[in-house]
Structure 1
Amino acid sequence: MVIRWLDTEGVNAQTEPPKARAAAYVRMSTDNQQFSTDNQLIAIQRYADGRGYEIVRTYADEGKSGLNVDGRPALQKLLADVENGRADFSILLVYDVSRLGRFQDPDEAALYELRCRRAGLEVHYCAEQFENDGSIGSSIIKTVKRAMAGEYSRELSVKVFAGQANLIRLGFRQGGAAGFGLRRMLVDQAGEEKGVLGPGQHKSIATDRVVLVRGPEDEIEIVRKVYRRFVDEGICESDIAEELNRQGVLTDLGRPWTRGSVHQLLINEKYIGNNVWARTSCKLKGAHVQNDPGEWIRADGVFPAIVPTELFEAAQAIIRQRSAKLSDDEMLKLLTEVLERNGYLSGLIIDEAEGAPSSSAFRTRFGSLLRAYTLVGFSPDHDYRYLETNRKLRALYPEIIQSIIDGVIQIGGEVARDPVTDLLRINREFTVSLVIVRCSKTASGTLRWKLRLDTKLKPDITVAVRMDSNNDNPRDYYLLPHFDLREAIYRLAEYNGLSLDAYRFDDLTYFYQMAARAQFKEAA
């Protein structure tokens, strides 16, 4: 008898059936390191191996809050791929229910799973103790889990707020610039001073704290002089601002004084040593609201006062008196006029408006600015703050372009400026266009910049000034050559890869080197 052995290399060889194709979605916020994306992927891979799934795609949102979907590009791309037919997988693997989101509305949390399932995907929660099979039991458990995830975020928000409020009451500073005449001092957990923090600097050790201390004596004297001019001599904020600007005095942000910046100096309690926080709030990624004074967190007398309390109170009395003679209707009429001129209302806009009571006067008269807004038909739900930012950047433009011209001239270069287009011709050799790029924040707090190039002028080089998160000062610079640019609009993140960040510079030193004239000895 002849035995025919199975040829494992031939056509009769048995092959394994193809594995089901799956995608993994992972998200990590900053609430707990044990749920890092790496740890999630390990658990998801173990689950896939046990079920015979092949993970062909991974969508990762790292450091992203689960309170909404706006700041989570990976989840948005996942949904777009699935619903537009670009998905090459039929299964979605997620670590647990909360990774899809800690939404305050459980129905919203269910929406994104529903969108995946309607597109034909199976959704598996790899670390949960139930099968997501559509049964009544699994549906009940998922609903409870989603509600628990939202409640976790709410409780965490309450705890964080309580912790910050406690630090305020202990006399520690929680964010924000120090202000003219003051400085931020870093102290350790024993209260020992470690050094003054400069603009943009932050503490790097969790146990360190920040307090306010006296600034240079010349700044302190200017603050006191502003109060005396306002109280004793009856000089208004606008005139004080003009006087300071004539003297060449700049604000703590290095900018000229305005009516609003002088007014803020006159009403801020930190100049008499009080620590006041939570004038505004933005909780759980909701709307930014101004709180009633009764909700502010405060600690009096915790910082060194640089203005006598009596002088400060006299200034507040004058500010209140300016609106005391106006009826409610007259005040609201003035507020309406401010709204019509600007298209938006904020405390800063009101304080800058000539002939109108201050924002604090409206807050005192009507209980809160929000109520005053409502009475004139303005809803801050629509965010027009970009208009205010754009006005600020337009005012900054001449200052920056003049500094570039001065810098080129200082290194021996030649500059011709087109009075209509502001196009700069350097050394009669190449042209330069200046673009100031406004910074905006996504819902998750990440920074974005939208760069729009001037395609009509076609400059040889575009100097793009990328502003910082508050749109107060330049963050960095992009020197973009025309021949390397293919698009009219570029959307920049904090890091953009070598294709764009190769043109990024911290300052304009390299640009000035390009514009410098080379010196040669005269030939005999």
Structure 2
Amino acid sequence: MSPGSELEASAVTNTSGNSDDKPERLIRAAQYVRMSTEHQKYSTENQAEIIADYAACRGFEIVRTYEDSGKSGLKLDGRLSLQKLIADVRSGNTDFEVVLVYDVSRWGRFQDADESAYYEFICREGGIKVHYCAEQFENDGSLSATIIKSMKRAMAGEYSRELSAKVFTGQCRLIRLGFRQGGPAGFGLRRVLVDEHCNPKTTLERGEQKSLQTDRVILQPGPPEEVEIVRRLYRMFVVQQRTESEIAGILNVEGFLTDLGRPWTRGTVHQILTNEKYIGNNVYNRVSFKLKAKRVLNPPDMWVRHDGAFEPIVERDFYEAAQRIIDARSKRYTDQELLDRLAALLAEKGWLSGLVIDEVEDMPSSMTFRHRFGSLVRAYELVGYSPARDYRYIETNRALRALHPDVVQEVIAGIESAGGSVRRDPVSDLLHINEEFTAALVIARCQVSPAGSLRWKIRFDQGLRPGITIAVRMEDDNRAIRDYYLLPWLDLGKTPDLRLAPENGILLDAYRYETLDAFMDLTRRAALRAAA
């Protein structure tokens, strides 16, 4: 008798479960068990117990186990044990004749029932038969068993589809109520567990999950240092017009890591710049990945949202400005379209600069022209424009504008280190120090006259009227800071502009300092004894 006929005879003979009818030789078998989630703690044990009973009644000896724990049955991807089982069968590297599985759904909930049948066919082609131990049909290959098995495969896939639809409906409801659904909080944010009455319970660390069905999760601002990095990231992108790659490079040089403890990349910066959770909005279903199918980007009309669900850490104006910049940069213009728009801007303004280009609402950024044509000068030449001033002047001003927020932040850090308090106006950058006086910071570009003399022009803000203007004088190459002037409004504010030379006499140089230590001492809190 052939091994195949012996296997069929043993299977038919032992259907009744009569121990007297067991074959003399036990048939070597492998078992495949799978559980889909970590919550099914005893699922594989329960499966193995039923499989063991089936094997004992039918004369099978389990010699090998293939186990996929916590793996979805929707696809073969990620199910390493089933992949190994299929590979062993294909290579002939098997020491068993049968594969025992709890039921059809444990083999898989494939959305195409033919895929489930295909993997079973591979086994049968390799001389290995698959037995489903807890199903109501016999594993005898009969017409009735084949029909029922096909229905079971379709039902297994349909169960996942129905469950997915129910889960999605419940998640959408919770989103509209303002609760967070899945995923890490993100850099600068933290997940907070709340009870059914929205009372905070605890902060969830990465990987932690709620244990009670009635508990919910919301987002709250994270540590102040992370929140400040997020806000600074937006300032660098919106105010300084830096690219995502440049911002990632700066953060990496300064030693900051993402919430995953990894270096920053263009992608991680872009994710922060485009996610509405940083302005407090709860948005869901931007991307669909249902039933392990291909990831799909959904249009905005399919998004599920609750605006203002969480405390924002970025101002809406900054976020919207970032989106306009991203949209402008992401739109792909041809070279001729870029030049046509630049020529139209030249005709409207009469002159061009990086600042003029960046200030136009629907215009590609100056960085786009630099990348496409190599430099702004080359783009100017192609539209027939010759800058009246040295191009280095335009580039220097751009670099100083980019430097300004960083110097302001250094001043703020120095004040706080000295024990003072400071509040920065996000629009004007005016500093309110100890709620006693205000200060503004001006970076003065060094200009070289035709005769070779160095000059610096200081402009006082007549609208803000700061108590002290911190004038930062740059070196002649405009790359490093030369010194500082602390100019009080009461003494010099009535003059809109002030021109400085390297040496200015005692009346002006009395306000000159090599560092800002004197200013930090000015902001330092001092304890005063009460008079007796």
| TM-score normalised by structure 1 residue count | 0.52
List aligned pairs for 1:268-347, cutoff 5 A. Answer: 268-321=275-328, 326=333
Output the CA distance in 1 between the equivalents of 2:263 and 2:64: 53
Counterpart residue number, 2:494: none
**3-state secondary structure, aligned to 1:211:** strand
Aligned pair in 2 of structure 1 residues 137, 171: CA closer, same or farther (>3 Å)?
same
1:404-442 deviation line (CA, Å, top 9, x unaligned): xxxxxxxxxxxxxxxxxxxxxxxxxxxxxxxxxxxxxxx
Match of 2:120, as an amino acid? E
Match of 2:109, as an amino acid? R
Output the CA distance in 1 between the equivalents of 2:67 and 2:253: 54
**3-state secondary structure, aligned to 2:314:** coil
Counterpart residue number, 2:36: 30
1:21 CA displacement: 0.7
Structure 1 residues 45-54 or 140-149, which shifts more? Answer: 45-54
1:321 CA displacement: 4.8
1:355 to 350, 356, 368: 368
**3-state secondary structure, aligned to 1:298:** strand
Match of 2:218, as an amino acid? V
Aligned pair in 2 of structure 1 residues 255, 151: CA closer, same or farther (>3 Å)?
closer
Output the CA distance in 2 between the equivalents of 1:103 and 1:117: 19
Match of 1:281, as an amino acid? S
Q: What RMSD over aligned residues (CA atoms) do the two structures have, in Å?
A: 3.9
Q: Does 1:171 align with 2:184?
A: no
1:71 CA displacement: 2.6
- Matched-pair contact (CA < 8 Å) for 2:30–2:99: yes
1:93 to 88, 100, 123: 100
1:101-151 deviation line (CA, Å, top 9, x unaligned): 211111111122222222333433222222222222111111111111111
**3-state secondary structure, aligned to 1:165:** helix
Match of 2:143, as an amino acid? I
Match of 1:71, as an amino acid? G
1:130 to 128, 132, 137: 137
1:154 CA displacement: 1.9
Output the CA distance in 2 between the equivalents of 1:18 and 1:67: 39
1:100 CA displacement: 1.7
Counterpart residue number, 1:121: 128
1:298 CA displacement: 1.7
Counterpart residue number, 2:57: 50
Output the CA distance in 1 between the equivalents of 2:186 and 2:106: 41
Counterpart residue number, 1:60: 67
Q: Which ranges in structure 2 are unaligned for 5 or more consecutive residues?
A: 1-21, 339-366, 371-532
Output the CA distance in 2 between the equivalents of 1:239 and 1:74: 44
Aligned pair in 2 of structure 1 residues 247, 82: CA closer, same or farther (>3 Å)?
closer
- Matched-pair contact (CA < 8 Å) for 2:66–2:81: yes
1:97 CA displacement: 1.9
Output the CA distance in 2 between the equivalents of 1:154 and 1:328: 48
Counterpart residue number, 1:478: none
Match of 1:305, as an amino acid? P
- Matched-pair contact (CA < 8 Å) for 1:277–1:296: yes
Counterpart residue number, 1:493: none
List aligned pairs for 1:157-306, cutoff 5 A. Answer: 157-198=164-205, 200-207=206-213, 208-217=215-224, 219-221=226-228, 223-224=230-231, 227=234, 252=259, 261-306=268-313
1:269 CA displacement: 1.5
- Matched-pair contact (CA < 8 Å) for 1:27–1:64: no
Q: Which ranges in structure 1 are unaligned for 5 or more consecutive residues?
A: 1-15, 332-353, 358-524
Q: Does 1:40 align with 2:47?
A: yes
Aligned pair in 2 of structure 1 residues 71, 258: CA closer, same or farther (>3 Å)?
closer
**3-state secondary structure, aligned to 1:130:** coil
Q: Does 1:150 align with 2:141?
A: no
Aligned pair in 2 of structure 1 residues 328, 264: CA closer, same or farther (>3 Å)?
farther
**3-state secondary structure, aligned to 1:284:** helix
1:181 CA displacement: 3.8
Match of 2:152, as an amino acid? K
Aligned pair in 2 of structure 1 residues 134, 172: CA closer, same or farther (>3 Å)?
same
**3-state secondary structure, aligned to 1:307:** coil
**3-state secondary structure, aligned to 1:306:** coil
1:264 CA displacement: 4.0
Aligned pair in 2 of structure 1 residues 356, 180: CA closer, same or farther (>3 Å)?
farther
Question: Which entry has the higher C-alpha Rg, 1 or 2?
Answer: 2
Counterpart residue number, 1:103: 110
Counterpart residue number, 1:374: none
Output the CA distance in 1 between the equivalents of 2:93 and 2:269: 57
Output the CA distance in 1 between the equivalents of 2:110 and 2:336: 42
- Matched-pair contact (CA < 8 Å) for 1:23–1:58: no
| TM-score normalised by structure 2 residue count | 0.51
Output the CA distance in 1 between the equivalents of 2:84 and 2:260: 39
Q: Does 1:140 align with 2:147?
A: yes
Paired residue total: 321
Counterpart residue number, 2:25: 19
1:171 CA displacement: 1.9
Match of 1:297, as an amino acid? V
Match of 1:30, as an amino acid? S
1:237-271 deviation line (CA, Å, top 9, x unaligned): 66766776777766555666666555544433222
1:66-119 deviation line (CA, Å, top 9, x unaligned): 222333333333334444444343333322222222111111111222222223
Match of 2:132, as an amino acid? Y
1:53 CA displacement: 3.4
Aligned pair in 2 of structure 1 residues 145, 330: CA closer, same or farther (>3 Å)?
farther
Higher relative contact order (CA 8 A, sep 6+): 1
- Matched-pair contact (CA < 8 Å) for 1:23–1:59: no
1:316 CA displacement: 3.1
Output the CA distance in 2 between the equivalents of 1:139 and 1:271: 55
List aligned pairs for 1:497-512, cutoff 5 A. Answer: none
- Matched-pair contact (CA < 8 Å) for 1:19–1:54: no
Match of 2:35, as an amino acid? S
